[in-house]
Amino acid sequence: MAKKKTLKNDDIDEKKRLELYNSQYLIRVAEQRAYDLFLENLVKGTSHLSLGQEAIAAGFATAMQENDKSFCTYRGHAHTLARGASVVGVLGELMQRDCGLMRGKGGSMHLTDTSKGVMGSYAIIGAHLPMAVGSAWRAQYMGHDDVATVFFGDGTTNIGAFHEALNYAVVYKLPVVFVCENNNYMEYTPIESITAVKNPAADRASAYGLDSIIIDGNDADEVYRTAQAAYSKARSGEGPSLIECKTYRQSGHSRADPGAYRPDGELDHWKKNNDPITRYRSRLIEFGVKKKIIDDIEENVKRLVDEATEEAKSSPVPPEDILTTNVYANGGWAWRN
Amino acid sequence: MAQLTYREAVAAGIAQEMERDETVAFIGEDVARAGGVFKATVGLFDKFGPKRVIDTPISEQAILGAAMGAAMTGMRPIAEIMFSDFLAVCWDFVANEMSKSRYMSDGQLKCPLVVRTGNGGGSRFGAQHSQSIENWAMAIPGIKVVAPSTPADVKGLLAASIRDEDPVIFFEHKSLYAIKGEVPEGEHVDTLGTAKVVRPGKDATIVALALMVPRAIQAADKLMTDHGIDVEVVDIRTLVPLDMKTISSSVAKTGRLFTVEENPRLCGWGAEIVSIVVDELFWDLDGPAVRITTPHIPLPAADNLEDITIPSVDRIYSKILDVLR
Ligand SMILES: Cc1ncc(C[n+]2csc(CCOP(=O)(O)OP(=O)(O)O)c2C)c(N)n1
Ligand SMILES: [Mg+2]
């Protein structure tokens, strides 16, 4: 009989595993809450959720060190939370309240918390890849040991900035990790119908002299291990990595997108057979983690998100006098005397 | 007359021209099967098929470059750039390429194409999805710039833009997509370079564009009701070519000029109009020409902040009242 896996014979210890679970679970509950708040008309504007993609954010953030930098897309709530940004700050920003990370000035697509290394979320496709390259250049130039990670979707591999950023990073051997979250869709269009190759990121890697790396993005352990390897490569001066994570977006592209473009049964299939949280929970149990410990994590997360929701709801809308602050470095907006 | 929404008028305008002219084809992100993220092109894919209505990758440079290459060699492509903010990603094709090829080739090359794009604020989308960038486009010699405010104008001016021999940037206002209005039945083609007096008046002239037109009309109505001030509203409709005749004859009649602009203040289109009026109609003016604009700041996401940023009916009303009193 095969020996039951124990935590001892595994390279990821129980503490890390619980951290990975906690992070994924927090993202799940917070994103579900964001959706509910949207239905209550408390989240204005747009929002792009990472339901189903939690393992990627959790796996990378858990492998990062504190001074590492994250560059996110508009689908950035998960990565911002995974770096430890306050839940009140995130939900408050989605609700455009004064307690929001950016006091309602940026909104859902631009979550930023530099105190946690989240160097912003960007809504113009491709823009943040060269920025991450620049952060890595600064680290190399100034002898810092941080690595920049840039998260983007499958669709983003078709914009010029993706290709320019990769080539540039390789040429200068910069400490940057490019993470493609391949969720099969560019908005409403299946990615394979608009991309020359099957694996939109990995199949382009060879063009830039990089290894083709494809991983199961719904397996937090695999993500975590891959991230660790990429970070140690980057920190030892060996240059960038490009990692394609296969995953699936369980929510709409944005807001109330009903996902009419999905083939019948596809969403159910992923939810039932390949949900990162369900999978990870069973693995914890399989590895002998006590159910009570898992329950406690879940209870704590739910309480945290409930409390954050209440706090955000009771926060006022931003005061009007911040409208013209921080346009320029002197704190104001004056352009003439 | 048929009642159409502004977004339906977009599809109707494109369909009318595609039916008439085989060389018209339409490309953009999620424009075909999904009918566009603003649902402005619903039905075109079913009607014209995948050869003429095409979902592209997220490749704005390739979209505009390809539209340009096709236009130079005999087609009349329509390219969608989903949000006007994204035009910055492919601005080379607007600023250096399609606008200059006719001139640089001394007339050998032409680029009869239309770039349709969702412009403007009001959706709480924040600083990278809400801008009014018509003034960026207006600053470039060689392209035409259109921004309709009603469904009828959408259809008629879009048709005119598709038929035009020059590249046209066609700004559709995101906050107007849902409005309804009468659109003439049958073929409807308008004329670029013609402004319209949409509310006659004698005491002052407001010149407005796109979303600012209905707001200006409401403010004018309120000024009439509350104070008997009779304001004329001119919808510019196309910034290039600019119909100064209509604007000037209105200002000559009323003696007062206000512009209502959604673009941020510096170098907004109103500055150009004011400078022309000051130059050519100085002695007709009975007081200063005044610009009402979005301030010189990026757009905030929060609804209460966005609402005090873009000129509102109240702000237009109070400003005009202040100045005229
Ligand atoms: C330059 C630019 N073009 C188009 C868009 C509109 N847009 C927003 S998200 C998106 C799809 C991105 O797909 P993908 O990269 O796969 O990321 P996902 O949303 O699936 O996470 C598009 C086309 C944009 N924001 N910026
Ligand atoms: Mg995608």
DSSP line for B188-243: ----TT--EEEE--SSEEEEE-TTHHHHHHHHHHHHHHHH---EEEEE--EEETT-
Distance CA(B22)–CA(B24), nearest Å, equals: 5
Long-range contacts from B213-221, C-beta under 8 angstroms, 24+ separation: B213/B149, B213/B150, B214/B149, B214/B176, B214/B179, B215/B260, B215/B311, B215/B312, B215/B313, B215/B316, B216/B260, B216/B316, B218/B313, B219/B313, B219/B314, B219/B316, B219/B317, B219/B320
Residue A156 in contact with ligand 1 by CB distance below 6 A:
yes
Q: What is the pLDDT of residue B116?
A: 98
Say what the pLDDT of residue A5 is. 60
- Which residues in chain A are contacts of B60 at CB distance < 8 A? 159
**CA distances (Å), origin A94, targets A33, A190, A290:** 11, 28, 35
Domain architecture of chain A: domains with CATH: 14-317 (3.40.50.970)
Mean pLDDT of chain A: 96
> Is A115 exposed, middle or buried (CB count within 10 Å of its CB: 0-12, 13-18, 19+)?
exposed
Interchain proximity A187–B34, CB inside 8 Å: yes
Contact between A162 and A156 under an 8 Å Cβ cutoff? The reply is yes
Tell me the C-alpha to C-alpha distance, in Å, between residue B294 and each of A59, B242, B247. Answer: 43, 21, 22
Tell me the pLDDT tens digit for each residue of A209-232: 999 999 999 999 999 999 999 999
For residues A248 and A265, give the distance between their C-alpha atoms in angstroms, rounded to a whole number. 13
* B79-110 confidence digits (pLDDT tens): 999 999 999 999 999 999 999 999 999 999 99
Antiparallel, parallel or unpaired: β A69-73 and A148-153:
parallel
pLDDT over 70 at A6, yes or no:
no
What is the model's pLDDT at position A10?
A: 77
* B34, B59, B129: residue with CB nearest A159: B59
Is any Cβ of chain B less than 8 angstroms from the Cβ of A197?
A: no
Residue pair B160/B188 in contact by the 8 Å Cβ criterion: no
- Just list the catalytic residues of B: 129
Q: How far is C-alpha B50 from the chain's CA centre?
A: 28
- Select the residue of B55, B57, B125 nearest A46 (Cβ to Cβ): B125
Give, using CA atoms, the residue closest to atom 2 of ligand 1: A125
| Contact indicator for B148, B210 with CB cutoff of 8 Å | yes
Q: CB distance from A156 to chain B under 8 Å?
A: yes
Q: Which ipTM score applies to this complex?
A: 0.89
| Selected residues 34-63 of chain B with any CB under 8 Å from a CB in chain A | 34, 37, 55-61
A181 and A56 in contact (C-beta within 8 Å)? yes
Q: Where are the alpha helices (DSSP H) in chain B?
A: 6-20, 44-48, 60-72, 91-92, 101-104, 134-138, 151-163, 212-227, 244-254, 269-280, 303-307, 313-324
Domain ranges of chain B: 2-183, 196-324
Hey, of A187, A197, A336, which one would you mutate to test binding to chain B, going by the most B CBs within 10 A of its CB?
A187
- C-alpha separations of B289 from A104, B10, B207, B224, B264 in Å: 35, 34, 11, 20, 18
Give tens-digit pLDDT for A86-144: 999 999 999 999 999 999 999 999 999 999 999 999 999 999 999 999 999 999 999 99
* pLDDT mean over A301-316: 98
Is any Cβ of chain B less than 8 angstroms from the Cβ of A167? no
- How many angstroms separate the CA atoms of A96 and A43, rounded? 7
Question: In this complex, do B37 and A187 lie within 8 Å of one another by their Cβ atoms?
Answer: yes
Cα–Cα distance, B263 to A194 (Å, whole number):
34
Collect all residues of chain B within an 8 Å Cβ-Cβ radius of residue A127: 89
- In this complex, which of B37, B86, B295 lies closest to A324 when CB atoms are compared? B295
B151 upstream amide cis, omega within 30 of 0: no
Q: Does domain B196-324 have CATH number 3.40.50.920?
A: yes
The contacts of residue A228 (CB under 8 Å, 6+ apart) are A63
User: How confident is the model over A240-250, as a mean pLDDT?
Assistant: 98
Closest CA to A49 of A21, A22, A73: A73
* Residues 6 or more apart whose Cβ sits within 8 Å of residue B105: none
Predicted confidence at residue A1, as pLDDT, reads 45
Asked whether the beta carbons of residue B309 and residue A109 sit closer than 8 angstroms, the reply is no
Percent of chain A's residues with pLDDT above 70: 97
Q: Which CATH class is domain B2-183?
A: alpha beta
First to last CA, chain B: 42
With CB atoms and an 8 Å threshold, state whether B59 touches A160.
yes
Q: Does A266 touch chain B (CB under 8 A)?
A: no
What is the Cα–Cα distance from B55 to B36, expressed in whole angstroms?
A: 9
Which residue of B58, B93, B123, B131 is the best one to mutate when testing the A interface, meaning the one whose CB has the most A CBs within 10 A?
A: B58
Identify which ligand lies nearest to the alpha carbon of A77: 1
> Which parts of chain B sit beneath pLDDT 50?
none
CA distance A327 to B296: 9
What residue's CA is closest to ligand 1, atom 21?
A153
pLDDT tens sequence across B169-195: 999 999 999 999 999 999 999 999 999
Q: Quick one: tokens of A237?
A: 């001066």
Is the Cβ–Cβ distance between B189 and B158 less than 8 Å? no
- Closest partner residue to A333 among B29, B58, B296, by Cβ? B296
For A314, the token pair is 């009771």
Alpha helices (H) along chain A: 14-39, 54-63, 77-82, 87-94, 128-142, 160-171, 202-205, 220-235, 266-273, 276-286, 291-314
Tens of pLDDT, residues A150-174? 999 999 999 999 999 999 999 999 9
Strand A176-182: give its sheet, edge to edge.
A118-122, A69-73, A148-153, A176-182, A241-246, A213-216
Cα angle at B72 between B69 and B77, to 5 degrees?
A: 70
What is the number of H-type helices and E-type strands within chain B? Answer: 12, 14
Cα B83 from Cα B75, distance rounded (Å): 24
State if residue B64 touches ligand 1 by the CB under 6 angstroms criterion. Answer: no
Q: What are the residues whose beta carbons fall under 8 Å from the beta carbon of B58, sequence distance 6 or more?
A: A125, A126, A155, A156, A158, A159, A186, B29
| Residues in B touching A104 (Cβ below 8 Å) | 300-302, 305
Query: No. of H helices and E strands in chain A?
Result: 11, 8
Does residue B99 contact residue B48 with C-beta atoms inside 8 Å?
no
The reply to whether B92 touches chain A by the CB within 8 Å rule is no
Distance between B303 CA and the closest CA of chain A, angstroms: 7
Over 50: is that where the pLDDT of A64 sits? yes
Report DSSP state, residue A263: P
CB contact under 8 A, A158 and B302: no
Note whether B85 contacts A124, CB cutoff 8 Å: yes
